[in-house]
Chains A and B, each alone.
Chain A
Amino acid sequence: MTRITGFRSSAALLAVLMIAMGGTPFRPAFAQGGAQPEPAKLLEQADLSRNGWETYEVVTVIRNYQDGELKDEGSFDTYIKGADRTLVKFMNVDVKGQYLLMLEDAMWIYMPNTRKPIRITPLQRLLGNASNGDVARTRWAGDYDATLKGEEKVDGVGCYVLGLTARSEGATYNRVELWVRKEDGRPRKAEIYLSSGKHYKTIFYDSFGTVHGRLLLTQMTIIDRLREGSTTTMTFTGYTPREIPEKWFNKDYMEKLR
């Protein structure tokens, strides 16, 4: 049985090395000087704000509010390796021992009382308005095709507006409109639509912080458009680059994790 633990000292060392090597998270990836930016590049740029490293660990705290009142709170340790592998460890006492695994387009949940991984869909809710995919799928570029729809200001900040349509089966949502800041490619806002066309969620990418020399998303807010007054915040702390064994992302290994 493997216990999941952090390798914080090596992570710090890695961060120092990256800073020493001059690594910067937001190199301009889109065209300069008035030319139209490439939508795919904008999407990759937006992804960088949640994925500072190829393999890393981050703590996600989800708070669910109804009419401004805190109704529920959950904490999750998230282990991410590459674009298509994520392991989520549930930390709350009532769901202790529970794991969510994302591999390519597929997701499984392991619950200690059922003792086996169960295949689930990305749309199933994890907590509040946050779907499994909101926690486990952290990259837009692999999941969506993007088109540039124009430019708009959000809260006075100039943004490109991207239209995203799901490319992979595992994409959390069918259709997304994404606003990315012209200045540095960070995401600012997303509107989520169901395949029926119904407006499902609005997501605001609220704050970013510098972690190990990289500017990374630290909080986002999800507003449920189907349930009035329902809001969920997701905060991300403890970003730590680390090596993660390959077998942790094998479905059969889930029962051995703790």
Chain B
Amino acid sequence: MSRAGGTPDPGTGTFVRAGALWTALLLCAGPAVAQDLDYRISAVDEATAWRLNSSSPFNARNLIVPQPVRGNTGTVDAAIGFGVLSTSLGFTAVASDIQRPDYRFDVRELALDLSIGESWDLLAGRKILKWGTGYAFNPTGVVEPQRSPSDPTDRLNQNDGRNLVSLTGFVGKSSFTAVYLNDAEYAHSRLTWGKNEIALRLYTFIAGLDLSLVGHYREGDRLELGANTSYVIGDNLELHGEVLGKKGTSMLYHAILGSEEPAQEFTSFPYSATADGSREIFCKLLAGGQFTFNGGLNVALEYYHNQEGLSAGEWKRWMNFVKFQDAVQRGAVAVDPALVTPSRLNLLWSLLTLSPRGTMRDYLFLRGAYAEDAWSCEAICFMNVADGSIALIPTLTWKASQSLSLYARYTGYIGSNGSEFGSLFTTSALGLGIGVQL
């Protein structure tokens, strides 16, 4: 790439140097790396029917953020490896209206993975890395794509890798990893750089204990430090934990959280980093374990605390504000007609507070799983400790053959009016899926 006048683009030299470095590294790559083609293809198609929550304050008469009641999602994921190159290509077709399906093709991962000698590995490209020990929550998963605790296994292959360069050194039962990340995007013939991120991890296995120390810094944000661990006691019990802390937070909070007056409308974007200058330690904590019964039943339980989430008081203030906007949209309160449209915008803005990983501070996760012959069942319960509302997700799977499986997955949201899971857009969903693996 060069400019019109022939003057080298400042970036060109960088790319040339990077190319030379890559060539040198490829030549140095260990001879143990084979050049054989390896692949794994999985395809899933899931048809889902949703029951809308008519009393949800987020979506009056299903007009604020219209939700489908029937839909189909089909995904194909091809994980391919050849020598030092690995990639995961995803194709997704989503149809809430069968006449107008939406198609998407993703390069979910594309990375070079080089072994440099016996002890070092260099990884560069787009890749999913996961560092935590938790099942549903991973406070120390600072390098991983965001995901939902209600779908820890990413059944529809929706998680994409992140752009990174990683260097890992292996010494016996320990390892050291340094990662540079940048969520750069290339679109419309233009490369847009994201914020620079650096993450470090020191892992060791000592006296039966898995122990990782994690550090993470994102440009313009706080330094985060944490640790995770896991340990097995006896034949049946596994325990794990994670903690991550930082001083202050750049998290954006709605202005209504500091006000007791719900009947108001904001004329500009109401979010700001109110705890930016705080000296308070914002901590994410996970404690969990799993117990395997002698008959094969596996039960996992996790407690998650996120200090960046809303307290019960903040949730109440925010919910009262949302309910007021909802009442305006439904015409349940009399306001100046000129305020109805700004109210709708306020309702949309307020939805930015919701997080699929939990909006409040304390959660419990419970999972039971059992398999017998071709049948397996799993039940997930995700509970907001503060208001007692839950998401309940039982799944029954029948493995017709090694390549073909069929499943039914129900999702039910149970909670009082104004609770987190009782206020969502839907009350339940039933999905029927088919999975093929090659």
Binding site for B on A (CB under 8 A): 1-3, 5, 66, 71-72, 92-94, 96-97, 103-107, 111-116, 118-125, 169, 172-174, 194-195, 198, 200, 226, 245-247, 250-253, 255-256, 258
B10 within 8 A of A: no
Cross-chain contact B81 with A123 (CB below 8 angstroms): no
Q: Please tell me which one of the listed residues A92, A119, A198, A253 contacts residue B170 in the complex, with CB atoms under 8 A apart.
A: A253
Closest to A116 in B: B130
B419 within 8 A of A: no
Type the 1/0 row for B142-163, where 1 means its CB is closer than 8 Å to any CB of A.
Answer: 0010000000111101000000
Cross-chain contact A103 with B205 (CB below 8 angstroms): yes
Cross-chain contact B118 with A247 (CB below 8 angstroms): yes
Chain A residues with CB under 8 Å of B399's CB are 94
Cross-chain contact A71 with B373 (CB below 8 angstroms): yes
Closest to A227 in B: B295
Question: Can you name 20 A-B pairs with beta carbons within 8 Å?
Answer: A94-B402, A97-B79, A111-B153, A112-B79, A114-B130, A114-B154, A115-B129, A116-B131, A118-B135, A119-B231, A121-B234, A121-B236, A125-B296, A246-B170, A252-B170, A252-B177, A253-B175, A256-B113, A258-B81, A258-B86
Q: Please tell me which one of the listed residues B113, B172, B402, B438 contacts residue A1 in the complex, with CB atoms under 8 A apart.
A: B113
Contact A123 to B236, CB < 8 A, known contacts A66-B373, A72-B373, A247-B170: yes
Interface of A is mostly: loop
Chain B residues with CB under 8 Å of A252's CB are 168, 170, 175, 177, 203
CB proximity to A under 8 Å, residues B171-196: 172-175, 177
Cross-chain contact A256 with B121 (CB below 8 angstroms): yes
Contact A94 to B403, CB < 8 A, known contacts A1-B33, A252-B175: yes
Q: Please tell me which one of the listed residues B34, B133, B155 contacts residue A5 in the complex, with CB atoms under 8 A apart.
A: B34
Type the 1/0 row for B396-407, where 1 means its CB is closer than 8 Å to any CB of A.
Answer: 000100110100
The 6 tightest CB contacts between A and B, nearest first, are A116-B130, A1-B113, A3-B34, A247-B170, A119-B230, A123-B235
Q: Could you list 5 further interchain pairs (A-B, Cβ under 8 angstroms) beyond the known A246-B170, A247-B119, A258-B81?
A: A2-B34, A106-B205, A111-B153, A114-B153, A169-B208
Contact A169 to B234, CB < 8 A, known contacts A5-B36, A66-B373, A124-B298: yes
B412 within 8 A of A: no
Q: Please tell me which one of the listed residues A97, A116, A121, A174 contacts residue B238 in the complex, with CB atoms under 8 A apart.
A: A121
Cα A107 to Cα B210 in complex, Å, equals: 11
Cross-chain contact A2 with B32 (CB below 8 angstroms): yes
Chain B residues with CB under 8 Å of A115's CB are 128-130, 144
Contact A116 to B294, CB < 8 A, known contacts A96-B40, A97-B40, A104-B208: no
Closest to B231 in A: A119
Chain A residues with CB under 8 Å of B34's CB are 2-3, 5
CB proximity to A under 8 Å, residues B185-220: 203, 205, 208, 210
Chain A residues with CB under 8 Å of B174's CB are 250
Cross-chain contact B294 with A106 (CB below 8 angstroms): no
Interface size class of B (residues with CB under 8 A): 35 or more
Name the distance in Å between B43's Cβ and chain A's nearest Cβ. 13
Closest to B119 in A: A247
B429 within 8 A of A: no
B240 within 8 A of A: yes
Name the distance in Å between A218's Cβ and chain B's nearest Cβ. 24
Cα A1 to Cα B80 in complex, Å, equals: 11
Chain A residues with CB under 8 Å of B94's CB are none
Cross-chain contact B81 with A3 (CB below 8 angstroms): yes
Cα A71 to Cα B175 in complex, Å, equals: 41
Contact A114 to B152, CB < 8 A, known contacts A3-B36, A119-B232: yes
Cross-chain contact B208 with A94 (CB below 8 angstroms): no
Type the 1/0 row for B9-52, where 1 means its CB is closer than 8 Å to any CB of A.
Answer: 00000000000000000000000111010101000000000000
Cα A251 to Cα B204 in complex, Å, equals: 9
Closest to B85 in A: A1
Cross-chain contact B292 with A123 (CB below 8 angstroms): yes
Chain B residues with CB under 8 Å of A105's CB are 208, 232
Cα A97 to Cα B88 in complex, Å, equals: 13
Contact A121 to B237, CB < 8 A, known contacts A94-B437, A112-B40, A114-B152: yes
B84 within 8 A of A: yes
CB proximity to A under 8 Å, residues B218-273: 230-238, 240
Cross-chain contact B81 with A119 (CB below 8 angstroms): no
Cross-chain contact A113 with B153 (CB below 8 angstroms): yes
B139 within 8 A of A: no
Closest to B239 in A: A119
Q: Please tell me which one of the listed residues A116, A173, A198 contacts residue B132 in the complex, with CB atoms under 8 A apart.
A: A116
Cα A163 to Cα B130 in complex, Å, equals: 43
Closest to B154 in A: A113
Cα A194 to Cα B292 in complex, Å, equals: 13
Contact A195 to B235, CB < 8 A, known contacts A71-B373, A251-B205, A258-B86: yes
B115 within 8 A of A: yes
Candidate in B130, B203, B235, B438 with the most chain A CB atoms within 10 angstroms: B235
Cα A94 to Cα B295 in complex, Å, equals: 23
Cross-chain contact A93 with B232 (CB below 8 angstroms): no
Type the 1/0 row for B279-296, where 1 means its CB is closer than 8 Å to any CB of A.
Answer: 000000000000010111
